[in-house]
Amino acid sequence: MDGLGLTGGRLTGRRWAGGIAACSLLLVAAMAVAISVGSISIDFSALGEAGTMRTIFTQLRLPRVILAALVGAALAVAGAALQPTLRNPLASPDIIGVSGGAALAAVSALAFLPLGAFTQTLVPLCAFGGAIGASALVYRLSLINGRLEPYTQILVGVIFNTFAASVILMISALVDLRRSNSIVFWLMGGIAIHPYDVLLVVALFVLVGGALLIRESRSLDLLALGDETAEHLGVDLSRSRRRVFAASSLLVGAVVSLTGIITFVGLIVPHLVRRIFGSDNRLVVPASFFAGAAFLVLCDAAARWVIAPRELPVGAITAMTGGPFFIYLLRRRSGRRDDL
């Protein structure tokens, strides 16, 4: 196995710190850009006193930028950890079933619960439950003789997502127009404005889940050497995969239940980070956390700004930047597969 491609040379403490510092600086810069662009140009000198400007800034703009950062961080760090765990460069957080499960549960709630404000607040909880349930199911179905088998997992995940999509299609065809509208809106996804207490809960999930994945990143490097080699080197494969799986589903479940499905962040950010910093997961996983946050914050700022005062769906921006990159990766990967 070619396994670990040390494109960037050996990972030293200094390189690690440099990489993390660069990515966190990028995040700070991205957030600075994001809070200063939008459909309204905010006069920052007016923020000192109460007034419309301050309200717009604190209640309408800042929460959105914060959510974009949390979501981007969660998706990217989960993607960065799942790609080596499943030994597949195209693995993204969707592959463990969370997105499909969240969508299916949210759509069912929107289709069958009584219409009203209460249902609206219930939907994210249902989506979270669906995400966790689905990833548990996908995990269970991917076990062969009690071990998580990466290829089986990928196939199960893909089939589950396709299955969920078709059930959603069926449900939306059966319900009336009003309900199918709410389904459309959920499926379109996007970074919305949520109250700070909701953001706090999501932040807890993202920070704890992110920390778990970062802690696991050393074993991920060994996993990339192949199951046998990794076991010889003392990695408990099953436990390591289980941890990555569980942490990713909590992390991604928490964010997709609020935002719906946002594609490509979890796929492309880890690859971008690998191009720049080399493939050592001890750096790639935490760096993806910050870079993913920065990427989505910038995409969301672009979504708010490009055709202001109207807005583009953030998913369109991530996919438009992600789509060509995805193709590029596919083309490139056919020649060599080195750096997971």
Q: Which residues bind other proteins (CB under 8 A)?
A: 1, 38-43, 52, 55-56, 59-61, 63, 87-90, 94-95, 100, 103, 110, 117, 120, 151, 154-155, 158-159, 161-162, 165-166, 168-169, 172-173, 176-178, 180-188, 192-195, 261, 263, 308-311, 330, 333-334, 337
To the nearest whole angstrom, how small is the minimum distance from the Cβ of residue 113 to other proteins? 12
Give whichever of 212 and 258 is closer to other proteins, judged by the CB atom. 258
Give whichever of 59 and 238 is closer to other proteins, judged by the CB atom. 59
To the nearest whole angstrom, how small is the minimum distance from the Cβ of residue 283 to other proteins? 24
| Dihedral of alpha carbons 322, 324, 330, 336, sign | negative
d(CA 190, CA 184): 12
Give whichever of 116 and 234 is closer to other proteins, judged by the CB atom. 116
To the nearest whole angstrom, how small is the minimum distance from the Cβ of residue 214 to other proteins? 25
Give whichever of 20 and 56 is closer to other proteins, judged by the CB atom. 56
To the nearest whole angstrom, how small is the minimum distance from the Cβ of residue 310 to other proteins? 6
* Coil vs helix vs strand at 144: strand
To the nearest whole angstrom, how small is the minimum distance from the Cβ of residue 164 to other proteins? 8
Q: Select from 299, 304, 339, 285 the least CA-distant residue to 23.
A: 285
Give whichever of 159 and 276 is closer to other proteins, judged by the CB atom. 159
Give whichever of 10 and 310 is closer to other proteins, judged by the CB atom. 310
To the nearest whole angstrom, how small is the minimum distance from the Cβ of residue 173 to other proteins? 8
Give whichever of 38 and 286 is closer to other proteins, judged by the CB atom. 38
Q: Select from 263, 270, 209 the least CA-distant residue to 95.
A: 263
To the nearest whole angstrom, how small is the minimum distance from the Cβ of residue 24 to other proteins? 27
CB atoms within 10 A of CB 175: 16
Q: Which two tokens stand for residue 118?
A: 């209460």
Phi then psi dihedrals of residue 143, to 5 deg: -75, 130
d(CA 158, CA 156): 6
Q: Are 69 and 131 in contact (CB under 8 A)?
A: no
Instruction: Give the dihedral of Cα atoms 322, 94, 110, 132; nearest 10 deg.
Output: -150
Residues 6+ apart with CB under 8 A from 304: 37, 38, 39, 64, 311
Q: Select from 224, 292, 177, 183 the least CA-distant residue to 82.
A: 224
To the nearest whole angstrom, how small is the minimum distance from the Cβ of residue 10 to other proteins? 25
d(CA 132, CA 235): 26
